[in-house]
């Protein structure tokens, strides 16, 4: 295995994800787990981190870093019940840092859990009938599907398909039950098998989303595999299949790049699972296991060519894909506030800035959601835009929800720019962050809002996204304004992404600080206000006006960023 990456060795020796995790958890001499286990724990939904705000001081005091763990609970299509919400909320306060974090993949994260509290936290998540298994790691991650659609039955069908697919692609190892839930130890893992993944799982993470046009809230073209619902006469007739999307890149490594998915063709709803399995096993067998930075499906497709890839999928699935249908996307943001669906059920989308549910002064979104969960009879759905939908409210129950939203100060005035903003977690928990993200974007938006107001653009829903490093967790390369951390206080500014998520943006300015961002955007926004055409989006304008170079439109677009 000499050519294989170190993580491949760790997986191969892990006995289907056991590693030495049990011993690591029992070791009271350190707040950390063994180094190899930090890779294996990801498959169990756990990341070892340390509080980076405390690093220097801990070092000065000659203490080990303040090790804390992030736990991710996955939920296909972002759906959970009020009882599950209450269980997670209790854990946030008992074992985590008193906040709940909604992620850009419709999942929940807990931050700040110490080692000895991992077991009770994971036990309680499972008691609530949720799981952290495969929330991270080289496997299929949380499967996304739209949380709201005026077409209730189509939403239901895509959510059910997402759940079935998540189940089908879930690891089969008994390690999770054994380590976290007191399940019986197997004498040997040889009795077990991973029918889809095999003993070394995938070369890298793998991501799937369902979308219902015209809403592209899940950024379907940024996913390894996408299913775009095709609806005729209000009936779901099947899906366009897309493959090869991904955001991650590394500064200074030109062979890494964000890429939008290609469209492969059309399939019927019954063909979703065989086609998905064919894509996953193709990536399992042909993905790069020597270099993790080059191991995502997007690179496998670029190496082997799209024709080869399509032929391989069709052969493995025993399915011939039909020509894709025309689709148009016109919106990516969530429909904030109340929305009624075709069956007369009401859904309230609550804006949660950067996904952090917390109590801050009079704005008590965490407590407010707890109060709502105590009376709500429908369900909750997390959105890929880091918001929460209080779903399935009867007309009679609306007033009660409204009263709680206002009692807990949960609705704060927010401009369209803020409502269309996303920031990844970044500092202080993310070990890969080069710059602030979640803690900084709200302030920057205050300043940009002033610029927009000065140019009479306060009603413009410009999509702005920030990440603390180039990995792209808030999908910044499909934003109209993308800010990607390079170093403390310094960002690369990308402009010109398509409003519909179907065009990558371009690098516009490097290493800009707070004032540099404002200075770079001020003349562009003024020009936009002066010269834009009717209904022209900012991302389209900067391309048309020549502020950034044009890139090809359409699903096959691919752009290698300048580094």
The residues annotated with a catalytic role in the active site are: 72, 141, 205, 207, 424, 430, 469, 473
E strand map for 293-437: 337-340, 346-350, 356-357, 359-360, 363-364, 379-382, 388-393, 421-423
Q: Which does 71 bind (CB under 5 to 8 A by kind): ligand SRM, ligand SF4, none?
A: none
CB of residue 427 vs ligand SF4: minimum separation in angstroms? 8
The reply to whether 432 sits near ligand SF4 by the rule CB under 6 A is yes
Residues 292-321, interacting with ligand SRM (CB under 6 A): 296
Q: How far is CA 112 from the centre of its chain?
A: 20
CB of residue 394 vs ligand SRM: minimum separation in angstroms? 30
The reply to whether 468 sits near ligand SF4 by the rule CB under 6 A is yes
The reply to whether 135 sits near ligand SF4 by the rule CB under 6 A is no
Tally of residues, the chain: 563
Residues 35-94, interacting with ligand SRM (CB under 6 A): 47, 49, 70, 72
Of 471, 505, 559, 561, the one binding ligand SF4 by CB under 6 A: 471
Site track for ligand SF4 across 249-288, x = CB under 6 A: ----------------------------------------
The reply to whether 472 sits near ligand SRM by the rule CB under 6 A is yes
The reply to whether 469 sits near ligand SF4 by the rule CB under 6 A is yes
Reading the block at residue 64, the tokens are 């080990």
* Stretch in the footprint of ligand SF4 (CB under 6 A) among 224-232, 365-373, 407-415, 463-471: 463-471
CB of residue 479 vs ligand SF4: minimum separation in angstroms? 13
Q: Tokens 């994971």 correspond to what residue?
A: 122
CA angle 432–434–440, rounded 5-degree value: 110
Tell me the torsion sign for CA atoms 384, 453, 339, 153. negative
Helix 272-286, helix 152-168: angle, nearest 10: 40
Helix 118-127, helix 82-94: angle, nearest 10: 170
Q: How far is CA 36 from the centre of its chain?
A: 25
CB of residue 39 vs ligand SF4: minimum separation in angstroms? 16
The two beta strands, 346-350 and 337-340, are antiparallel
Q: How far is CA 269 from the centre of its chain?
A: 24
The enclosing H or E element of 109 equals strand 108-113
Of 216, 256, 437, 559, the one binding ligand SF4 by CB under 6 A: 437
Say if residue 86 is preceded by a cis peptide, omega within 30 of 0.
Answer: no
Residues 427-446, interacting with ligand SRM (CB under 6 A): 429-432
The reply to whether 247 sits near ligand SF4 by the rule CB under 6 A is no
The reply to whether 425 sits near ligand SF4 by the rule CB under 6 A is yes
* Cβ(513)–Cβ(489) below 8 Å: yes
CA angle 477–464–444, rounded 5-degree value: 125
CB of residue 108 vs ligand SRM: minimum separation in angstroms? 8
* Stretch in the footprint of ligand SRM (CB under 6 A) among 152-160, 465-473, 483-491, 542-550: 465-473
Angstrom distance (rounded) from CA 67 to CA 28: 13
197: which strand partners? none
Site track for ligand SRM across 100-119, x = CB under 6 A: ---xxx-x-x----------
* Cβ(428)–Cβ(52) below 8 Å: yes
Q: Which does 47 bind (CB under 5 to 8 A by kind): ligand SRM, ligand SF4, none?
A: ligand SRM
Q: Cα-flanking dihedrals φ and ψ of residue 370, to 5°?
A: -65, -45
CB of residue 470 vs ligand SRM: minimum separation in angstroms? 8
Angstrom distance (rounded) from CA 93 to CA 109: 13
DSSP 59: H
Q: Which does 468 bind (CB under 5 to 8 A by kind): ligand SF4, ligand SRM, none?
A: ligand SF4
Angstrom distance (rounded) from CA 505 to CA 532: 18
Site track for ligand SRM across 387-426, x = CB under 6 A: -------------------------------------xx-
* Cβ(389)–Cβ(102) below 8 Å: no
With CB atoms as reference, the residue minimizing the distance to ligand SRM is 248
Residues lying near ligand SF4 in the complex (CB under 6 A): 424-426, 430, 432-433, 437, 467-469, 471-473
Residues lying near ligand SRM in the complex (CB under 6 A): 47, 49, 70, 72, 103-105, 107, 109, 141-142, 205, 207, 222, 246-248, 296, 355, 424-425, 429-432, 471-475
């Amino acid at each position: 295995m000499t050519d294989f990456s170190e993580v491949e060795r760790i997986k191969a020796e892990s006995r289907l994800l056991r590693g030495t995790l049990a011993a690591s958890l029992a070791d009271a001499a350190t707040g950390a787990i063994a180094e190899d286990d930090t890779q294996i724990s990801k498959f169990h939904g756990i990341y070892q981190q340390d509080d980076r705000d405390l690093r220097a001081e801990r070092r000065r005091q000659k203490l080990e870093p303040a090790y804390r763990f992030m736990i991710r609970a996955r939920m296909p299509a972002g759906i959970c019940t009020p009882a599950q919400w209450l269980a997670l909320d209790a854990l946030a306060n008992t074992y985590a840092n008193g906040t709940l974090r909604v992620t850009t993949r419709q999942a929940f994260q807990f931050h700040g859990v110490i080692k000895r509290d991992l077991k009770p936290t994971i036990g309680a998540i499972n008691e609530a009938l949720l799981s952290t298994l495969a929330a991270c790691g080289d496997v299929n991650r949380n499967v996304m599907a739209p949380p709201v659609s005026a077409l209730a039955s189509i939403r239901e069908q895509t959510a059910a398909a997402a759940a079935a697919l998540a189940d089908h692609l879930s690891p089969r190892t008994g390690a999770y039950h054994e380590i976290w839930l007191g399940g019986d130890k197997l004498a040997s893992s040889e009795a077990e098998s991973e029918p889809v993944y095999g003993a070394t799982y995938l070369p890298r993470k793998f991501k799937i989303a369902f979308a219902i046009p015209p809403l592209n809230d899940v950024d379907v073209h940024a996913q390894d595999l996408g299913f775009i619902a095709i609806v005729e006469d209000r009936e779901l007739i099947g899906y366009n299949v897309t493959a090869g999307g991904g955001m991650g890149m590394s500064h200074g490594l030109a062979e890494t790049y964000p890429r939008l998915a290609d469209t492969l063709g059309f399939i019927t709803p019954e063909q979703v699972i065989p086609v998905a399995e064919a894509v996953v096993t193709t990536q399992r067998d042909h993905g790069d296991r020597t270099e993790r930075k080059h191991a995502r499906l997007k690179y496998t497709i670029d190496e082997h060519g799209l024709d080869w890839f399509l032929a391989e999928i069709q052969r493995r699935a025993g399915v011939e894909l039909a020509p894709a249908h025309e689709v148009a996307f016109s919106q990516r943001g969530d429909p904030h506030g109340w929305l009624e669906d075709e069956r007369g059920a009401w859904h309230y989308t609550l804006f949660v800035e950067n996904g952090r549910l917390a109590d801050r002064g009079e704005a008590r979104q965490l407590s407010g959601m707890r109060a709502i969960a105590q009376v709500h009879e429908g369900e909750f759905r997390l959105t890929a835009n880091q918001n929460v939908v209080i779903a399935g409210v009867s007309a009679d129950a609306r007033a009660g929800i409204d009263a709680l939203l206002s009692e807990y100060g949960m609705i704060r005035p927010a401009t369209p720019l803020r409502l269309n903003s996303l920031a990844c977690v970044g500092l202080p928990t993310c070990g890969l962050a080069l710059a602030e993200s979640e803690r900084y974007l709200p302030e920057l938006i205050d300043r940009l809002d002033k610029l927009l107001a000065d140019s009479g653009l306060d009603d413009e829903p410009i999509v702005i996204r920030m990440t603390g490093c180039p990995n792209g967790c808030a999908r910044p390369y499909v934003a109209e304004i993308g800010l990607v951390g390079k170093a403390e206080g310094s960002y690369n500014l990308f402009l010109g992404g398509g409003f519909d998520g179907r065009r990558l943006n371009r690098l516009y300015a490097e290493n800009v600080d707070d004032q540099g961002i404002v200075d770079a955007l001020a003349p562009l926004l003024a020009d936009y206000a002066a010269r834009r055409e009717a209904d022209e989006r900012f991302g389209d304008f900067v391309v048309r006006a020549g502020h950034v170079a044009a890139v090809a439109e359409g699903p096959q677009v691919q752009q290698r960023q300048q580094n």
